């Protein structure tokens, strides 16, 4: 799934999960050329403060595409470059969300899938920074006790060996020249101190969620400075695309895209349980102007049965 317009020339304060869901819904509607609230020739409800109602066609084959056992929702045209200037004019940052409940053993393949889609979309052969976000871990800026399990996570945070295993796959992409720098999210000083000796390529960035406006523990500031790690802040949600939200987005409901079958016995869509695998967020910033020229999301979800359109 590709979420977000091809070019967004504005900054946003929306949380990533809200921005992602809104982008996906907007793209689904735009792909079918059906404007919200205009299905019956009604006036634009947004002008009158009336809640927006989304209309989808039940024939999703007309606005999606399929390659082997993968369906692109909506269909994606990679023929045109997502950048208007030469590659060296941009800083391209990618944040990869590894989602709760997905085995760490899949992450090597998932990482390559996510990066390949961004490279194809932007028509480039490398990105400047990849930030890895691991499930089940959050950073509380008010708590010197470091990381905690995020309330929206499903299950326990990754064990240490899984973190190192995932980092190895990122180091491999760095070695191949696909990623210039690698970063982490939600790592405090204790976890960094344990993690860094296990790395060949040290993280250049640690991105943390600071709730109370830049109140960062002094211990983390000092340790990051000592290790030459840049501290960045964000307002992203760790579990950015829960299973229930995905089902609602693709399901047969009033605001769903009518991709998934309405019931196990129905023939009106794809049957099976939907399970999000990963989400990637990318931004391309024009260096000399500091303008976001291209911003968007890709997400991958798997269905528990063969992904095949109904006849």
pLDDT > 90 in the chain, percent = 54
What number is the average pLDDT over the span 178-191?
A: 95
Concatenated DSSP letters for 204-267? SEEEEE-TTSS---HHHHHHHHHTT-EEEEE---SS-S-HHHHHHHHSSSTTS-S-B-SSTT--
pLDDT digits over 70-105, tens only? 999 999 989 988 899 999 999 999 999 999 999 999
Rounded to two decimals, the pTM is 0.82
Domain map (residue ranges) of the chain: 90-144+155-263+273-304
pLDDT digits over 140-181, tens only? 655 544 444 444 444 455 688 999 999 999 999 999 999 999
Q: Are 233 and 207 in contact (CB under 8 A)?
A: yes
pLDDT digits over 8-66, tens only? 333 345 677 888 998 898 888 888 865 444 333 333 434 333 344 555 566 888 999 99
Whether cis (ω within 30° of 0) applies to the bond prior to 119 is no
> SS3 string of 112-173?
HHHHHHHHHHHCCCCEEEEEEECCCCEECCCCCCCEECCCCCCCCCCCHHHHHHHHHHHHHH
């Amino acid at each position: 799934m590709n979420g977000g317009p091809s070019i967004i020339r504005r900054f946003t304060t929306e949380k990533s999960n809200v921005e992602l869901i809104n982008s996906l819904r907007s793209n689904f509607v735009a792909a079918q050329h059906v404007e919200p609230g205009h299905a019956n020739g009604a006036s634009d409800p947004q002008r009158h403060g009336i809640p927006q109602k989304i209309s989808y066609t039940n024939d999703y084959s007309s606005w999606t595409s399929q390659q082997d056992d993968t369906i692109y929702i909506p269909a994606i045209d990679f023929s045109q470059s997502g950048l208007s200037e030469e590659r060296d004019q941009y800083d391209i940052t990618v944040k990869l969300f590894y989602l709760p409940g997905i085995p760490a053993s899949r992450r090597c393949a998932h990482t390559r899938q996510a990066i390949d889609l961004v490279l194809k979309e932007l028509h480039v052969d490398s990105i400047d920074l990849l930030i890895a976000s691991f499930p089940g871990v959050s950073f509380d800026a008010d708590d010197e006790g470091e990381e905690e399990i995020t309330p929206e996570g499903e299950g326990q945070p990754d064990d240490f060996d899984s973190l190192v295993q995932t980092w190895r796959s990122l180091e491999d992409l760095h070695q191949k020249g696909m990623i210039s720098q690698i970063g982490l999210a939600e790592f405090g000083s204790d976890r960094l101190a344990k993690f860094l000796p296990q790395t060949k390529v040290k993280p250049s960035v640690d991105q943390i969620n600071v709730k109370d406006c830049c109140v960062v523990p002094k211990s983390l500031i000092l340790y990051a400075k000592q290790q030459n790690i840049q501290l960045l802040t964000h307002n992203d949600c760790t579990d950015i695309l829960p299973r229930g939200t995905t089902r609602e987005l693709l399901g047969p409901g009033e605001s769903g895209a009518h991709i998934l079958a309405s019931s196990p016995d129905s023939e009106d869509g794809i049957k099976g349980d939907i399970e999000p695998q990963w989400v990637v967020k990318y931004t391309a910033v024009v260096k000399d102007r500091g303008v976001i020229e291209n911003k968007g999301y890709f997400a991958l979800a798997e269905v528990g049965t063969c992904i095949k359109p109904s006849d």
